[in-house]
Amino acid sequence: MYTLDLKDVDEVVDALRAGASACRNATCRQGSIELIEAPGKLIATGDTHDHRKNFKVVLGAAGLDGEFGAEEKHLTLHEIIHPDLPESRELPLDLSYRGLTRIAYLKSQYPELVHVLLANHELAQAIGSGIMKNGIKVVDAFNAGVESVFTDESQRVHDAINDFVMSMPIALRCRCPQGDILCAHSLPGPASMGRFDPSILDRELTPDDYQPRVGSAHLMVWGRGYDHDQLEDLTERWGVNLFILGHEHAPNGYTVVNPNTIVLNTDHERAVYLPIDLDDEPTVAQCVSKMVHIR
């Protein structure tokens, strides 16, 4: 598949920078999003949180694991870093920079097929926001992990990570004959819609978009609790028939939010991915019937 020395600072930095360049310069990049069209096939995922086993499965499902003769498909990836860590009195080391680096390299090799979407944990890491998971300050744990490996060279790695994160599109739009699909990490919560700029899908991102609690990119990757009226509003504004998201916990691997939204999880023992034929954009019910549970 690919071989990276994830303890070699030059290889890690080069892979992250190459991933950032691929995000910015892929021909499918259109402003703040990536855009693909039928025909083609998509493997949609939810949060991965550096779950190596599940990542390997979805990579194989997308035909991007180097197996000879496999059919290559589009693949969405998001919420890559900050896995569950054991509780400890001392700050644990999070080494998920390795998963992020592998995915940056993958994006550089398949810029038109791999779609790495901005998510709240990557954004929090890049801007240094405080974020807790299971009682652990995950940004600090991630920094400690990088510094444990790269010591005096750590800042080079942090800078390259930030470059990759800030290059990520906010969503993947799939143009299908029966209607468009929008894959994103999340949508803004209903209470923040008054501060949210819906034109974000049609323009370049700006530094203001990343500002905590006020920027539209920040609001979009942190949103929860979508309701029927909000989803119908965004459906009409954006001309989207189906939303495929992550961010919220789904104990059974997926959750349906009416009228037209599916939340996926790809980071736990009941994880799923969703294969979609872009020539035949499915209904929510059809998506549920096609859901693949990772064993």
φ and ψ of 47, to 5 deg: -55, 140
Segment 139-163 mean pLDDT:
98
Distances (CA, A) of 249 to 42, 53, 145, 190, 237: 22, 19, 25, 18, 27
Which pLDDT score is estimated for 85? 87
Segment 170-198 mean pLDDT:
96
The answer to whether 130 touches 76, Cβ cutoff 8 Å, is no
Residue 158 has pLDDT above 80, yes or no: yes
Of all residues in the chain, the percent with pLDDT exceeding 90 is: 89
Segment 20-34 mean pLDDT:
98
pTM of the model: 0.96
Q: Which domains does the chain have, with CATH numbers?
A: 9-293 (3.60.21.10)
Q: Which residues contact 81 (CB under 8 A, 6 or more apart)?
A: 49, 50, 94, 96, 97, 99, 100, 121, 122, 125, 142
Tens digit of each residue's pLDDT (9 = 90 or more) over 112-145: 999 999 999 999 999 998 888 888 899 999 999 9
Tens digit of each residue's pLDDT (9 = 90 or more) over 29-84: 999 999 999 999 999 999 999 999 999 999 999 999 887 767 899 999 999 999 98
Distances (CA, A) of 173 to 203, 238, 249: 14, 10, 23
Segment 5-25 mean pLDDT:
98
Token digits for 97? 């920079």
φ and ψ of 174, to 5 deg: -110, 115
Which pLDDT score is estimated for 69? 67
3-state secondary structure of 182: strand
Q: Which residues contact 67 (CB under 8 A, 6 or more apart)?
A: 60
Token digits for 114? 């791999």
DSSP sequence for 229-287? HHHHHHHHHHTEEEEEE-SS--TTSEEEETTTEEEEB-SSTT-EEEEEETTSPPPHHHH
- Give me the sheet containing 292-293, strands edge to edge: 114-116, 74-77, 41-45, 272-277, 292-293
Residue 107 has pLDDT above 70, yes or no: yes
Distances (CA, A) of 247 to 25, 50, 108, 125, 254: 27, 14, 25, 16, 11
Which pLDDT score is estimated for 49? 97
